[in-house]
Every structure is written in C-alpha cells, then in structure tokens.
Amino acid sequence: MTKLERRLLYKIILVNLPAGFVLLLFVIIAHLLKPSSAEQYLPLLVIAPGLSISLTLVLTLREFKKLYHILGELEENIVRLGSENFIPSPPSVPLPEWPNSAIIALKNLVTKFSKTEGELQQKKEWLELIVTALPDGIIIIDASGRIVLSNPPITQITGIKQLEGKFYWEVLRKAELMNILQEVRPGKPPLTTETRFDEQTFFVTAVAGETTNHRILIFNDYTSIIRAERMKQDFVLNVSHELRTPLSAIKGYVETLEETIEPKNRGYLEIIKRHTDRMMNLIQDLLQLARLEEEKFPLQKESIELATLVNNILPIFVRQARKKGITIETAIPDTIKPIEADRLLLEQALINLLDNAVKYTENGLIAITAEEMDNSVAISVRDTGIGIDKEHIDRIFERFYVVNRSRSRQTGGTGLGLAIVKHIIELHKGKIQVKSTPGIGSTFTIILPGKL
C-alpha cells in the first residue's frame, strides 16, 4: 500500500469510526435500561452498517474528487513547465500534506531547470561572441550537411550573406573542401588543405565532433604571408642575377692575375679567389632554390637505376675523401627496381648530402645504402662525423641555417644545401628523415615513391 492510500484509509476510518461507535453504544444502553424494548432498536442495528458504508462511499468520493482536481492542477503545471518565466500556480483547494510536497518538488525541479537553461544560454552567447570576434572564417555543419553557424569573415569570403540553413555543397563548391569534409572523422586528427577564393589564399582546417557528428571548417587567410614570401623570393632572385655578372668578371680577372702576380702577393689573390668562389656558389644555390620554388616546376621524369646514379656521383668526392682519411662504401642491391625521377635533381640532392658528409667527417666512414619499402625506395647516406645536436635537427632544412657557422665558413658552405635537398624531394612527392647523435654521426634517409 502506498503512502497516499494509507493516508486516505486513515482519514475514512477516523471519520466513520466515531459515528458507528456512538450508534452501537446507544443500542447497548437502551437494552440495559429496558431489555424488553431492545427489539425496537434492532432496525437501527440493521440500518447502521448501511449508513456507515454510505457515509464511507460519500467521503471516499469526496476525497477522490479533490485528488482528481489536484492531479489536474499538477498536470497543468507540468505542461507549462517548458514555457518561459514559468511559476507553478498555487492550489485552488485546501490540500493535505502530500500534494504540497509534490508542488514543492516541482518548484525545485523548475528552479534547477531554469538555472541549467540560463547557464546553457550564457555559454551559447559566449560561443557566439567568440566566433563573431575571430578573424578566421568559421562554418559549423550538422550531421545532415546543413550549415548551422557561421561568422562575418566567412560571409565576406564566400560573398553569401545568409549561410545558415543551406547545405555546405551549395556554398563551398571547391573539390579540396569537399574532400576533407568527407574524409574527416570523429576522434581523428584534423585535416588541412589549401584553397583560393578570388585573389585570397586560405589554409583550411576540418575537425569532426565526437558526440554530435558536427563538422567545423576554419579558414585562415595567409594571403599576405604568401605575398611577402613571393616578394622576398623575387628580391633574392633579382639580387642574385645582378651580382652574378660582376662576380663572374672578378673571377675572370683573378684567374688572369694568377699568371702574372708576384709570389709575395699571391696570398692576397688566393683570399680574393676563395671568397669570390664562395659568393658564386651562394648565388648559384639561391638561383637554383628560386627555380625549385616556382609553381608547377616541371620534372624531367625518367627511369633511373640507383646503383648507376650513385656510381656516377662518387668520383666527385674520391679525392677529397682520401685526403681526409674517409672510406666511402655503397650497398645498393641489384634487385631494387628502377625509380621514376628527375635525374639531374636527384643527383643534386645526393651530391649535397655527400658533400655535407665529407665536410663534417674526419678519418671515418660514409655509407650509401638503399632498400625497397612497399611501393617506395629508401636511400640513406650515413656518416661517422661530428653529428648534430637534437635542438638543431628541426631547423637544418631552413634557408641559411647553419649549425656551426665558423666551420661552415672554413668549408665554404652556403647554408642552402639541405634546403635545396628538401625542395627536390618534395617535388618528387617524397620525404627526408634525419637521425643524428653528436660525436657518433648522422644518417639522412630519402624516401621516394617508385612512380610519380
């Protein structure tokens, strides 16, 4: 029996018990006073249970009617629960204790609900403020592909004022954007791509939510960075062209003077020659790097035997390696299939790596190896030279970055050799890895696809 049922039963008993007890007591007293007349009260004994039952039914119906009214008011309060500024209506009839506790519980529920709703509304406003204030364009797409949120920058980028409610393919008609939106997955790293709108270039990042399956696109405008980089490249290219002519003339005069100069002045001429050669090498590297950075640089692809390519390069370094006590070994299996690449560029990349290995190794070993890896080929140049500290490894492919400047000046380095190597490998859709331990040596590994 529930608490409600017990309360109702107790009330009926308390109301009806005194009435029945009084009637019974009256009959007993009458019998004691006049036993002969007790029979005339027998109809009362018969009628009393019926009256008690009727009274019980009347009281029960009255209580249930009141309960029905209370439940109706409670239902009305629950229906209005979701409305704004909801306040529970007070009961219109006197209530026993149990409905009051239900109304109090309802009030507490509404208070918690209102508090939670207020917090969510505040966080929503904060999110909208942040999204609106960001300089990057942002689009949030739901699971069905509709845009549910955007900000002013993306409106300027697309030229469409109202993005919300539209499908993303109606707005972002770019193949690269379609690809990352279809490939991005919840719990996976963000995907990135580059796209253009009119004269602007954007770096786009796509992220997928784990619970709602919403996707977010963030458009970062780096047009100004590209323009600055292009201006810098143009400047370097122009300066290099302008310097190459006078330096060529200086080098020609130095070679002419070598035949007639007096012995006591030959040392000065050697200094001029050494620095002229260094400047010529620097300009040559700058021009080559600028050429590699051109958009749609054409590769002269052909089938290349790695063993033949390496054997053609080695004679360049034999004399210098022997002078420094360096042994050069090769281990390229005959079973390695030919790769598709630009012969001259791949030769240049290997020459630069071998040149560094020879420069920074004394009385040691340089090993050139190759192995097949699935659909690619790995070519490694390992040396037992001075090695590279860990703090420098992430930056050695930057232009003009030199680990040891004094040693670089002595060896005539330009600081562009590894930058050129990286560009050549990226043009071949490959990658380059470095492992190095100071005092033990370095290993540079080029990984190239078998076919471009």
Query: What's the pLDDT tens digit per position in 385-442?
Result: 988 888 888 888 888 777 766 555 555 567 788 889 999 999 999 999 999 999 899 9
Q: Is the pLDDT of residue 2 over 70?
A: no
Q: Could you tell me which residue, 112 or 329, shows the higher pLDDT?
A: 329
Query: What's the pLDDT tens digit per position in 371-384?
Result: 998 888 999 999 99
Q: Is the pLDDT of residue 192 over 80?
A: yes
Model pTM score: 0.57
CB 383 within 8 A of CB 368: no
Say which range, 50-54, 295-299, 324-328, has the weakest mean pLDDT: 50-54
What the block records as the tokens of 330 is: 């090769």
**Cα–Cα distances in Å, from 388 out to 64, 361, 403?**
90, 12, 8
Q: How many Cα atoms sit within 13 Å of 154 on the Cβ side?
A: 22
| Average pLDDT for the chain | 79
CB 202 within 8 A of CB 213: no
Alpha-carbon gap, residue 430 to 423, rounded angstroms: 10
What are the DSSP calls for 363-388, one per residue? S-EEEEEEEEETTEEEEEEEE-SS--
Alpha-carbon gap, residue 86 to 88, rounded angstroms: 7
What the block records as the tokens of 405 is: 């400047």
Q: Is the pLDDT of residue 117 over 70?
A: yes
Q: Is the pLDDT of residue 44 over 90?
A: no
What the block records as the tokens of 247 is: 């330096």
**Cα–Cα distances in Å, from 171 out to 161, 162, 214?**
11, 10, 17
Alpha-carbon gap, residue 306 to 220, rounded angstroms: 42
Degrees to nearest 5, angle at CA 67 with 61 and 70: 145
Q: What is the pLDDT at residue 393?
A: 87
DSSP 8-state symbol, 361: -
Question: By percentage, how much of the chain surpasses pLDDT 70?
Answer: 73
Q: Is the pLDDT of residue 303 over 50?
A: yes
Q: What is the pLDDT at residue 98?
A: 47
Q: Is the pLDDT of residue 45 over 60?
A: no
Q: Which amino acid, residue 213?
A: N
Q: What is the mean pLDDT of residues 187-197?
A: 89
Alpha-carbon gap, residue 197 to 202, rounded angstroms: 8
CB 326 within 8 A of CB 358: yes
Q: What is the pLDDT at residue 47?
A: 59
- pLDDT confidence tier of residue 289, bands split at 50, 70 and 90: confident
Largest CA distance in the chain: 172
- Size of the chain in residues: 452
Alpha-carbon gap, residue 13 to 9, rounded angstroms: 6
Q: Is the pLDDT of residue 97 over 50?
A: no
List beta partners, residue 378: 371, 447
Q: How many Cα atoms sit within 13 Å of 251 on the Cβ side?
A: 14
DSSP 8-state symbol, 400: T
- pLDDT confidence tier of residue 60, bands split at 50, 70 and 90: low
Q: What is the mean pLDDT of residues 9-15?
A: 54
Q: What is the pLDDT at residue 272?
A: 85
